[in-house]
């Protein structure tokens, strides 16, 4: 048997042994994918209502950069972050950026009262069944997800962001857009 | 013959996965011993054979048995125990050696919408159903289990956020009921959730229709699964009127909240280790191909040289 054949057989044996054995040395443990885990994937689209009862959906936001912020009125960091989101909306008006606040699990009345108290002008959606929260495996509130104009997740954040962090996160998309 | 036994045993492990015997020491020692016997006997026959095609056939049979035997013994000795992955609706779980499991969404109106999907590197997304799905060294199956969808409102009817600080998904209103507790001699699944806006922590214990009937006077009329809520404040002190039973998803008042719990069926995914599918298929093909080639060579050799002794073939 030629030397090449022996080497080929040895290589095949090693490859087969690797395929057969390797998976058992990686324990099939899991980790929940947070919002960052969705980067590169199309954001799920749920049919929701806004705080005034109008039907809303991410499908209507194609072609725009979307900053989606999950929040609730009982969450102090959400309250602290909201004015910066409003500032982001104003600073980027006319630049193809939409800010959407998604209330997780509360009534429209409570969400609207909260938004009014902070003079929030961007759209507030009501996610009563907490579908976005579940899908983004939010580790807490607030959670922020940024989508490109095609609706693909480009960034995901757990916890509150400052205005500077928000600007830095959307700037590359604005330059491309 | 022994080679066929080895490969057949490994194929059976693939077709009937999850049997305890596959992980037994004696089983795997026997599998390894049979494989070694085949290799030793094959080596002897290989040396004795003069026909090049027959040698090739013997080598193929040896390789096939070795590959299948290795796959079987590796799975039997190294593979982890069965694991069940339970995810909240909409949750995505990365399973390190497999890929990403995505659990279907559900709502208070609908049970699971669609199936659990598995996304593997270099593969598309596949739906995991009750029929086994083979993925390399593992087989996956969806198994239905009971979960509870909860809704919390204040006494004016305003909906409140439900969180699960110690659950697998913080913002999920679906309780996966993975803990168990004995109450009145019954072993019952339970879970807990928080209502941060009302500063309440709620424990939910699930009862089947039959179990619920034994709890409540006149409960035989319930005829539905039920959820017992026990409400504490954030310092784990019982709230006023802390306990209520919600049957059939009807709202009840407890601890200053209106709570409802719907028992619904939702899939979990059981992952069972098996011998590697590709290696077993390759082993079986090599063995059968080698066996066929050896028989053909033997027959043609006999008809070409009828005077030769049978042991040459």
Band of the pLDDT at A49, cuts 50, 70, 90?
Answer: very high
B70·A140 Cβ contact <8 A: no
pLDDT in tens, B40-80: 888 888 888 888 888 888 888 888 898 888 888 888 888 78
B89 contact residues in A (CB cutoff 8 A)? 134
B170·A135 Cβ contact <8 A: no
Query: Beta strand B138-153 with B133-135: parallel, antiparallel or unpaired?
Result: antiparallel
Instruction: Find the CB nearest A128 among B78, B159, B276.
Output: B159
A73·B137 Cβ contact <8 A: no
d(CA A162, CA A157): 12
Mean pLDDT, contiguous 10-residue spans, chain B (313 residues): 85 85 86 88 85 86 89 84 83 80 71 77 84 88 91 93 87 90 90 95 92 68 84 87 88 94 90 88 89 84 54 43
pTM: 0.74
A129 contact residues in B (CB cutoff 8 A)? 107-108, 173
Question: For residue A35, what is the nearest residue in chain B, using CA coordinates?
Answer: B92
Residues A132, A58 contacting (CB under 8 angstroms): no
Question: For residue B78, what is the nearest residue in chain A, using CA coordinates?
Answer: A24
pLDDT in tens, B185-195: 899 999 999 99
B279·A31 Cβ contact <8 A: no
Residues 65-124 (A) with a CB less than 8 A from some CB of B: 70, 72-75, 104-107, 109-110
Q: Which residue has the tokens 């077709």?
A: B15
Average pLDDT of the residues in A98-105: 96
Helix axis angle, B2-15 to B277-304, nearest 10°? 150
Query: What are A123's two structure tokens?
Result: 């759209």
How wide is the angle at C-alpha A162 spanned by C-alphas A157 and A164, nearest 5°? 105
The pLDDT score that the predictor gives to residue A148 is 94
Instruction: Find the CB nearest B78 among A24, A107, A131.
Output: A24
What residues contact residue B32 under an 8 Å CB cut-off, 6+ apart? B69, B73
Smallest CA-to-CA distance from B282 within A10, A22, A17 is with: A17
Burial group, residue A17, by CB count within 10 angstroms (0-12, 13-18, 19+): middle
d(CA B112, CA B255): 30
Smallest CA-to-CA distance from A136 within A99, A104, A97 is with: A104
C-alpha B28, offset from chain centre: 23
Quote the ipTM score.
0.80
Instruction: Find the CB nearest A24 among B79, B196, B271.
Output: B79
Q: What are the Cα distances from residue B233, in Å, to A113, B212, B300?
A: 25, 26, 87
B70 contact residues in A (CB cutoff 8 A)? 16-17, 20
Q: Which residue has the tokens 């040395």?
A: A25
Coil, helix or strand for A36? helix
Cis peptide before A142 (omega within 30 of 0): yes
Q: Is residue A28 predicted with pLDDT exceeding 90?
A: no
The pLDDT score that the predictor gives to residue A89 is 95
B91 contact residues in A (CB cutoff 8 A)? 32, 134-135, 137
Instruction: Find the CB nearest A131 among B67, B90, B170.
Output: B90
d(CA A139, CA A158): 7
DSSP letters along B89-121, please? Answer: TT-EEEETTTEEEEPPB--SS-S-BS-EEEE-T
Buried b (16+ CB within 10 A) or exposed e, B155-164: eeebbbbbbb
Q: What are the Cα distances from residue B282, in Å, to B189, B287, B293?
A: 45, 9, 16
B96·A29 Cβ contact <8 A: yes
| A51 and chain B in contact, CB less than 8 A | no
Query: What are A169's two structure tokens?
Result: 């996160």
B282·A16 Cβ contact <8 A: yes
Q: Which residue has the tokens 């800010």?
A: A99
B94 contact residues in A (CB cutoff 8 A)? 30-33, 37
B105 contact residues in A (CB cutoff 8 A)? 131, 134-135
In eight-state DSSP terms, residue A141 is S
Radius of gyration of chain A (CA): 23
Instruction: Find the CB nearest A134 among B67, B89, B197.
Output: B89
Coil, helix or strand for B185? coil
Coil, helix or strand for B230? strand
How wide is the angle at C-alpha B246 spanned by C-alphas B241 and B250, nearest 5°? 115
Q: Is residue A125 predicted with pLDDT exceeding 60?
A: yes
| A21 and chain B in contact, CB less than 8 A | yes
| A37 and chain B in contact, CB less than 8 A | yes
d(CA B88, CA B169): 6
Residues B61, A9 contacting (CB under 8 angstroms): no
- How is chain A split among helix, strand and coil, in percent rounded to 5? 45, 25, 35
What residues contact residue B267 under an 8 Å CB cut-off, 6+ apart? B103, B104, B112, B115, B116, B128, B142, B143, B144, B145
pLDDT in tens, B12-35: 888 888 788 888 888 888 888 888
What residues contact residue A106 under an 8 Å CB cut-off, 6+ apart? A72, A73, A126, A128, B158, B159, B160, B161, B197
| A44 and chain B in contact, CB less than 8 A | yes
Q: Is residue A16 predicted with pLDDT exceeding 80?
A: no
B272 contact residues in A (CB cutoff 8 A)? none
Cis peptide before A164 (omega within 30 of 0): no
The pLDDT score that the predictor gives to residue B100 is 86
Chain A interface test: which of B120, B170, B282 (most A C-beta within 10 Å): B170
The pLDDT score that the predictor gives to residue A118 is 95
């Amino acid at each position: 048997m030629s030397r090449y054949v022996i080497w080929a057989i040895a290589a095949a044996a090693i490859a087969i042994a690797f395929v057969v054995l390797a998976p058992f040395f990686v324990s099939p443990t899991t980790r929940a994918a947070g919002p960052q885990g969705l980067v590169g994937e199309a954001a799920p689209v749920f049919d929701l209502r806004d705080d005034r009862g109008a039907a809303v959906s991410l499908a209507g936001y194609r072609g725009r950069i979307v900053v989606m912020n999950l929040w609730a009125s009982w969450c102090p960091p959400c309250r602290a972050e909201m004015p910066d989101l409003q500032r982001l909306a104003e600073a980027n008006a006319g630049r193809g950026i939409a800010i959407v606040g998604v209330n997780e699990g509360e009534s429209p009345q409570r969400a609207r009262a909260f938004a009014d108290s902070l003079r929030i002008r961007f759209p507030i959606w009501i996610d009563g069944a907490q579908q976005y929260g579940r899908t983004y495996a939010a580790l807490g509130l607030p959670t922020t997800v940024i989508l490109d104009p095609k609706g693909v997740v480009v960034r995901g954040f757990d916890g509150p962001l400052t205005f500077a962090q928000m600007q830095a996160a959307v700037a590359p998309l604005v330059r491309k857009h | 013959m022994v080679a066929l036994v080895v490969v057949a045993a490994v194929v059976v492990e693939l077709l009937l996965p999850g049997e305890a015997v596959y992980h037994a020491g004696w089983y795997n020692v026997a599998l390894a011993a049979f494989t070694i016997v085949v290799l030793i006997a094959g080596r002897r026959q290989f040396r004795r054979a003069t026909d090049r095609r027959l040698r090739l056939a013997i080598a193929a049979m040896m390789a096939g048995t070795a590959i299948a035997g290795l796959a079987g013994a590796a799975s039997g000795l190294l593979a982890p125990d069965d694991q069940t992955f339970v995810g909240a609706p909409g949750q995505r779980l990365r399973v390190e050696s497999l890929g990403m499991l995505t659990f279907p969404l559900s709502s208070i109106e609908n049970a699971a919408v669609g199936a659990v999907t598995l996304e593997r590197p270099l593969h598309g997304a596949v739906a995991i159903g009750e029929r086994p799905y083979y993925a390399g060294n593992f087989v996956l199956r969806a198994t239905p289990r009971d979960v509870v969808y909860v809704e919390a409102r204040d006494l004016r009817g305003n909906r409140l956020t439900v969180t699960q600080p110690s659950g697998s998904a913080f913002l999920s209103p679906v309780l996966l009921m993975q803990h168990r507790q004995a109450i009145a001699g019954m072993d019952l699944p339970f879970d807990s959730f928080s209502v941060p806006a009302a500063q309440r922590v709620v424990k939910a214990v699930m009862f089947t229709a039959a179990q619920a009937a034994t709890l409540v006077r006149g409960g035989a009329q319930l005829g539905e699964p039920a959820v017992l809520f026990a409400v504490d404040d954030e310092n784990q002190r019982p709230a006023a009127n802390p306990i209520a039973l919600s049957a059939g998803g009807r709202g009840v008042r407890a601890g200053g909240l209106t709570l409802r719990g719907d028992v619904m069926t939702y899939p979990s995914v059981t992952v069972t280790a098996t011998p590697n599918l590709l290696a077993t298929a390759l082993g079986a093909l090599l063995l059968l191909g080698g066996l066929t080639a050896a028989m053909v060579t033997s027959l043609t050799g006999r008809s070409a040289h009828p005077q030769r002794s049978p042991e040459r073939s």
